[in-house]
């Protein structure tokens, strides 16, 4: 069952202007401006008491608007004893009281002359916003004072000035209004529903299918949404219906702040609404007025062909969409749109040379798109659409964000052999799902003494293209006494940490390997003979032991574990790094078995 909500902000432009035009407070009372713009937040804070006092919403008998007004003590005393709220609930009441420091901020009682915080500077005179339409200025929004004087959106600005002499006229900012709606839609995607869309010029569409149970139902969600917008300084109404068209019409012409329409009742609910609720074009509305059509119900009994001929085919489509007889998908906003370019070919191609040529054109187009957005590519996906409808995909990754077209072309050309063109490729798409910010960098003059390390990012990308992408790596030290834990892999461009001062072999085995037939003098001497991988070795020199204790905080088995490491040289010139488990005295430290752990170069 589809449930769509339409959010309507009737005074979006004028109320957004009011938020920006707050009177300036004295400098000592103005907090420091944040470095970045604060995101939209629907959390009223840790305290559950609404701003301005009144009753705490957590009280059981004051929840969900059960009380139409704030109860007085006399009303409570008039109730029977068994109906009076408990002392616990009485203790959760919070009376509205003046903040003790507000008088100081206004300068009351101290002789100060700080200006009072009010909307007089903006709403002292009727205010309207105008926009240019053809050869005249049209009123797009009006403040409450102007609405009371008879000014309405759509009126000519000259007519409004003639009706109200002291009228304050300001230019409308539709781009700023749309930017705020885009920001609100992104907030809705992150907090309320995964599908949200801007409904120009003053609302949102929210697909609430399967989401309202997370907020306690549709009624609670609508109350929460309206309270959130009220805290931001906006007036709104919301309607939830089975179709987007019905929700749009009820939110703007229903007359109630919250409208919840049960499924299947769209036709009856829309019957008494005006034709403007169907989002018709002005020409269709003028034509309907000439024929005497005023309500949506007037269209129900009309045949489709005459209706489409007189009011246009769009009117029929809007009517069917609102009643649920035709689909009207909501195109959701996307938090981030990955750069993407496409080429459709006049004729299918199948040779490697033709594919490489098209790849070059795609890379050039993608680099331009990345430059315009200040991004660098980290991952690229190439999709080739075959004539038979199948797809061939290849992907590349870079060690560092880049926009080097030659480098990207070279890497993609190395993967062309993995593409099976089949009957021919008719379209190719190149997308960059993973990108990073790439800005200009200052290059310092070396003056003949350039000690900067060479950039190996290109080399790493070339190696990754020829072998597995995760094969190139660097080794870096890690804080641990156990040798196999003291070294770990890092990214090929990562800066390795410092190495310890004690000697370690150039090559270490992934796991220590057991030695057999070991002859050694206990407890502090290196072995004289041992067999490793089926070959016997005779030791002619040795150094050690270097004692390493286990990390008891990681594993109980390492509480008393001890390793004695020796550096030995065999008769054939090989040098090994091996160890014995246990100290040769206490059996709890190890079983005295010998292991090979590494080789010196």
pLDDT at 68 over 70: no
Helices (H), 312-438: 313-323, 352-373, 405-414
| Span 352-375, pLDDT tens digits | 999 999 999 999 999 999 999 889
Separation between Cα atoms, residue 532 and residue 286, nearest integer Å: 97
Q: How far is CA 358 from the centre of its chain?
A: 33
Cα angle 573, 578, 581; round to 5: 155
Mean pLDDT of 121-136: 79
The CA–CA distances, whole Å, from 239 to 134, 276, 463, 580 equal: 34, 17, 58, 77
Mean pLDDT of 285-313: 91
The confidence band for 118, taking pLDDT boundaries of 50, 70 and 90, is very low
Beta-carbon contacts of residue 302 (< 8 Å; ≥ 6 apart): none
pLDDT at 589 over 80: yes
pLDDT for position 17: 78
pLDDT for position 441: 67
CA nearest 422: which of 392, 443, 395, 451? 392
Cα angle 94, 96, 99; round to 5: 110
pLDDT at 13 over 80: yes
Separation between Cα atoms, residue 395 and residue 397, nearest integer Å: 7
pLDDT at 566 over 90: yes
Mean pLDDT of 123-138: 84
Beta-carbon contacts of residue 2 (< 8 Å; ≥ 6 apart): 207, 209, 242, 243
Q: Has this prediction a pTM greater than 0.75?
A: no
pLDDT at 63 over 60: no
| Span 242-273, pLDDT tens digits | 999 999 999 999 989 999 999 989 999 999 99
pLDDT at 9 over 80: yes
| Span 441-483, pLDDT tens digits | 666 555 555 566 667 777 777 777 666 666 777 777 777 878 8
Mean pLDDT of 228-246: 92
What are 24-31's contacts with CB under 8 Å, separation 24+? 25/105, 25/114, 25/117, 26/105, 26/114, 29/105
**442 vs 175, higher pLDDT:** 175
Mean pLDDT of 196-215: 91
Mean pLDDT of 262-285: 92
Listed ranges 22-36, 262-276, 436-450; the one with the highest mean pLDDT: 262-276
Mean pLDDT of 195-203: 89
pLDDT at 542 over 80: yes
The confidence band for 135, taking pLDDT boundaries of 50, 70 and 90, is confident
Lateral strand order in the sheet of 196-199: 196-199, 203-207, 4-8, 237-241, 258-260
Separation between Cα atoms, residue 240 and residue 259, nearest integer Å: 6
pLDDT for position 318: 93
**DSSP secondary-structure letter at 548?**
E
Mean residue pLDDT of the chain comes to 81
Q: Of all residues in the chain, what percent carry a pLDDT higher than 70?
A: 80
| Span 489-526, pLDDT tens digits | 777 777 777 766 777 887 888 889 999 999 998 888 99
pLDDT for position 22: 56
């Amino acid at each position: 069952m589809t449930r769509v909500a339409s959010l309507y902000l009737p005074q979006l432009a004028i109320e957004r202007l009011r938020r920006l035009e707050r009177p300036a407070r004295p400098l000592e009372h103005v907090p420091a401006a944040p470095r970045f713009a604060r995101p939209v937040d629907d959390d009223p804070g840790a305290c559950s008491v609404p701003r301005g006092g009144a009753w705490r919403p957590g009280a059981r008998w004051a929840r969900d608007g059960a009380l139409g007004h704030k109860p007085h003590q006399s009303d409570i005393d008039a109730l029977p004893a068994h109906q009076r709220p408990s002392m616990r609930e009485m203790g959760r009441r919070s009376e509205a009281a003046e903040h003790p420091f507000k008088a100081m901020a206004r300068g009351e009682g101290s002789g100060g002359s700080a200006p009072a915080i009010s909307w007089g500077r903006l709403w002292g005179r009727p205010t309207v916003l105008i926009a240019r339409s053809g050869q005249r200025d049209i009123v797009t929004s009006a403040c409450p004072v102007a609405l009371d004087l008879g000014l309405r959106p759509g009126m000519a600005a000259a007519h409004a000035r003639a009706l109200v002499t002291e009228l304050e006229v300001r230019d409308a900012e539709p781009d700023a209004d749309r930017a705020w709606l885009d920001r609100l839609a992104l907030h809705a995607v992150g907090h309320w529903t995964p599908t949200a869309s801007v409904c120009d010029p003053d609302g949102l569409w929210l697909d609430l299918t399967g989401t309202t149970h997370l907020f306690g139902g549709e009624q609670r969600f609508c109350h929460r949404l309206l309270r959130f917008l009220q805290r931001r300084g906006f007036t709104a109404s919301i309607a939830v219906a089975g179709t987007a068209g019905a929700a749009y019409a009820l939110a703007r012409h229903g007359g109630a702040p919250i409208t919840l329409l049960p499924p299947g009742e769209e036709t009856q609910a829309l019957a008494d609404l005006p034709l403007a609720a169907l989002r018709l074009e002005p020409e269709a509305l003028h034509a309907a007025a000439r024929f005497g059509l005023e309500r949506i119900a007037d269209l129900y009994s009309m045949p489709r062909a005459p209706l489409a001929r007189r009011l246009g085919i769009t009117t029929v489509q809007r009517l069917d969409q609102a009643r649920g007889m035709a689909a009207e998908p909501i195109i959701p906003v996307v938090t981030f749109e990955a750069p993407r370019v496409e080429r459709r070919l006049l004729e299918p191609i199948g040779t490697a040379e033709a594919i490489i040529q098209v790849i070059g054109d795609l890379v050039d187009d993608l680099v331009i798109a990345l430059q315009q957005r200040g991004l660098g590519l980290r991952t690229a996906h190439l999709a080739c659409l075959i004539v038979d409808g199948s797809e061939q995909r290849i992907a590349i990754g870079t060690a560092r964000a880049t926009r080097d077209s030659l480098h990207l072309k070279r890497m993609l050309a190395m993967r062309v052999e993995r593409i099976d063109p089949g009957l021919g490729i008719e379209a190719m798409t190149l997308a960059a799902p993973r990108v990073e910010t790439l800005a200009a960098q200052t290059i310092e003059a070396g003056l003949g003494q350039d000690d900067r390390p060479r950039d190996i990012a290109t080399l790493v990308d070339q190696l990754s293209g020829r072998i597995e992408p995760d094969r190139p790596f660097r080794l870096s030290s890690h804080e641990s006494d156990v040798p196999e834990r003291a070294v770990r892999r890092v990214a090929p461009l990562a800066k390795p940490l410092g190495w310890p001062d004690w000697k370690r072999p150039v090559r270490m085995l992934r796991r220590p390997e057991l030695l057999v037939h070991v002859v050694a003098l206990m407890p502090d001497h290196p072995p004289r003979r041992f067999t490793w991988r089926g070959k016997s070795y005779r030791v002619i020199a040795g150094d050690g032991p270097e004692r390493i204790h286990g990390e008891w905080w990681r594993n109980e088995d390492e509480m008393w574990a001890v390793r004695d490491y020796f550096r030995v040289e065999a008769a054939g010139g090989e040098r090994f790094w091996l160890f014995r488990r246990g100290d040769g005295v206490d059996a709890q430290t190890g079983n005295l078995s010998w292991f090979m752990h590494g080789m010196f170069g």
